[in-house]
């Protein structure tokens, strides 16, 4: 018989004290989710310390309108999402963007990501955005299915503008909020 456990996930705004935990999620998630899509040497070289430094700065002085939420289980950060105004030059007024959504790999497929993503969408709506976009690796079928199940759709826009994705092809998804 499979073991089950009670899970009570709590969602809250991130604070600078969460920087290391977010960095750990960020690195582990990338190393799992992007294996086979980005070079192994790149993924293996990702640094929690370097990401902690970036997250410390971002959370201490977030850019105007940018928010980060974390998901916790038993006080442990298991995921995060970041969102705010669209960074796309062609974005119509009233467009927000989900910049990131990542979970610890052992939480993939258990529903925490769906709830975290729904909360980001709700918050964008509360902030007054009528539409939202996000970018995803073109080859990342798992994430694309995740977004599509949430009601998002590929809007036909492709790019290679994200250096953190090694300028690999990415596609834009959008939803009316």
pTM check: above 0.75: yes
| Backbone φ and ψ of 99, nearest 5° | -80, -35
The strand ranges marked E within 24-169 are 67-73, 76-85, 95-103, 131-137, 153-159
- Domain of residue 102, residue span: 9-176
On whether residue 134 sits in a domain, the answer given is yes
pLDDT of residue 7: 61
119's tokens: 């909360």
Task: Provide the domain count of the chain.
Answer: 1
Give residue 165's pLDDT.
76
CA 129, CA 143: separation in Å to the nearest integer?
23
Identify the pLDDT of residue 54. 94
Supply the pLDDT for residue 79: 98
- Split the chain (177 residues) into runs of 10 and give each run's mean pLDDT: 61 97 97 93 96 96 95 96 96 96 94 95 97 96 95 94 80 97
Does a structural domain hold residue 1?
no
The answer to the question of residue 4 being in a domain is no
């Amino acid at each position: 018989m499979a073991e089950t456990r009670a899970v009570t996930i709590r969602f809250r705004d991130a604070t600078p004290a969460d920087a290391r935990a977010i960095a750990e999620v960020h690195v582990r998630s990338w190393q799992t989710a992007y294996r086979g899509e980005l070079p192994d040497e790149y993924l293996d070289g990702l640094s929690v310390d370097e990401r902690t430094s970036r997250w410390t700065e971002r959370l201490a002085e977030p850019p105007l309108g940018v928010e980060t939420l974390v998901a916790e289980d038993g006080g442990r950060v298991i995921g995060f999402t970041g969102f705010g105004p669209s960074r796309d030059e062609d974005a119509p007024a009233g467009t927000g963007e989900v910049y990131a959504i990542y979970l610890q790999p052992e939480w993939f497929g258990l529903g925490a990501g769906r709830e975290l993503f729904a909360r980001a969408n709700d918050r964008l709506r509360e902030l007054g955005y009528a539409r939202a976009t996000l970018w995803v690796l073109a080859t990342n079928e798992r994430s694309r299915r995740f977004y599509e199940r949430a009601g998002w759709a590929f809007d036909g826009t492709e790019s290679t503008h994200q250096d953190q994705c090694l300028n690999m092809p990415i596609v834009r998804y959008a939803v009316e909020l």
